[in-house]
Amino acid sequence: MLNGLDREKETAMGILQYELGMTPIEMRRFTNGYCHRVYYVKTASGEFVLRVTGEENKEYYLGSVEWLPKLGALGVPVPRILKHGAYREDFYTLISFLPGKDLGEVYHTLTGEEKRGIVRELTIIQRKAAALPSMERYGYPHAGHGGSFAAWTGYLESSVARSCERIRQNGVFRDDVCDAVTGIMRTLEDYFASVKPTPFLDDSTTKNVLIHEGKLSGIVDVDEMCCGDPLLVVGLTNMALLSMGADNDYTGFWLDEMNAGETQRKAVTFYTLLFCVDFMGEQGMRFVNGAAVSHDEKKAALLNARYHELIQKLSF
């Protein structure tokens, strides 16, 4: 009887050989990826990436099939879909291979000028993504449907509520850490009310932004688009860097490139706090199978310190 890993490999080989008629010279699975099983594939005709998705994550498969061609048509450097379909109980997407590593993997090797260059490219990419038709609602549109919220604050309140519930259930941090977040959010109500449902790549952070020889080579893992404030991704990237213990020069360059004003910069600090409590909510969270607990005392202490620093910064 095949174990889980052997069965997954057998499925990937079946897709390549029987569905696509490909004989791999080399095939290896990438270690990252939560919703898909992702493989690097090398054949006599070139390099490819195979993504295999189970029924439980079908919406993300459908999202990539919808968004990648649309973004590619706008000149966004995303992989091309070569073929997609169903195989047994799974869905697959064969896409073109883009060279590079996630920004977070190489961040410590980049010079200031290289960071500025990457930010410059990413700003252009986000402007291109913003040219997609707005869905007139906020949040995540799937398969052509609008987002879930009539106002941007609805999306933000939902995010805080989810983090608070996780923090309460996991018991790693105090239950009241979200109270300050809600209070600070009220001070930015006028700004949030002015936010349009602009499409943007919400997960182009320290991951999914591929860097090759110090330059941006592409954006990967685009399974969904967010409609709302494009500054949200700057806040997420900022928090990701802070949680790595890295400098945040990159997000400073990003704000400069966007000519961000004082209120926008405060909003980014708030978004950083928003994702700080989101990361806090993940500490001690049990995965779906209940077998693993992602709690790291050192990381928890770092997040707690960042939380208080951000609260203090936003209180002035």
The three-state (H, E, C) secondary structure of the chain, written as one string? CCCHHHHHHHHHHHHHHHHCCCCCCEEEECCCCCCCEEEEEEECCEEEEEEEEEHHHHHHHHHHHHHHHHHHHCCCCCCCEEEEEEECCEEEEEEECCCCEEHHHHHHHCCHHHHHHHHHHHHHHHHHHCCCCCCCCEECCCCCCCCCECCHHHHHHHHHHHHHHHHHHHCCCCCCHHHHHHHHHHCCHHHHHHCCCEEECCCCCCCCEEEECCEEEEECCCCCCEEECCHHHHHHHHHHHHHHCCCCHHHHHHHHHCCCCHHHHHHHHHHHHHHHHHHHHHCCCECCCCCCECCCHHHHHHHHHHHHHHHHHHCC
Q: pLDDT band at residue 142, thresholds of 50, 70 and 90? A: low
Per-residue model confidence (pLDDT) at position 34: 67
Q: What is the pLDDT of residue 249?
A: 96
Q: How confident is the model at residue 171 (pLDDT cuts 50, 70, 90)?
A: confident
**Per residue in 100-130, pLDDT tens?**
999 999 999 999 999 999 999 999 999 999 9
Phi-psi region of 88 (alpha: psi -120 to 50; beta: other; left: phi over 0): left
Question: pLDDT (tens digit, 9 = 90+) per residue, 67-92?
Answer: 999 999 999 999 999 999 999 999 99
Query: Does the pLDDT value for residue 61 go beyond 80?
Result: yes
Q: Please state whether the predicted TM-score (pTM) of the whole model is above 0.75.
A: yes
Condensed to tens digits (0 to 9), the pLDDT of residues 218-233 reads 999 999 999 999 999 9
Confidence tier at 288 by pLDDT (50, 70, 90): very low
- Please provide the CATH number assigned to the domain covering 101-314: 3.90.1200.10
Q: How far apart are CA 38 and CA 54, in angstroms?
A: 12
Instruction: Report percent pLDDT > 70 for the chain.
Output: 92
Characterise 284 by phi-psi region: left (phi > 0), alpha (psi -120 to 50), beta (else). left
CATH class of 4-96: alpha beta
What is the distance between the alpha carbons of residues 101 and 207, in angstroms, rounded to a whole number?
9
The Cα 200–Cα 128 span in angstroms is 9
Cβ-contact 222, 78 below 8 angstroms = yes
Q: What percent of the chain has pLDDT over 90?
A: 73
Domain boundaries defined on the chain: 4-96, 101-314
User: What residue has token string 């850490």?
Assistant: 177
Distances (CA, A) of 86 to 10, 33, 44, 51: 15, 19, 25, 12
- pLDDT in the model for residue 266: 97
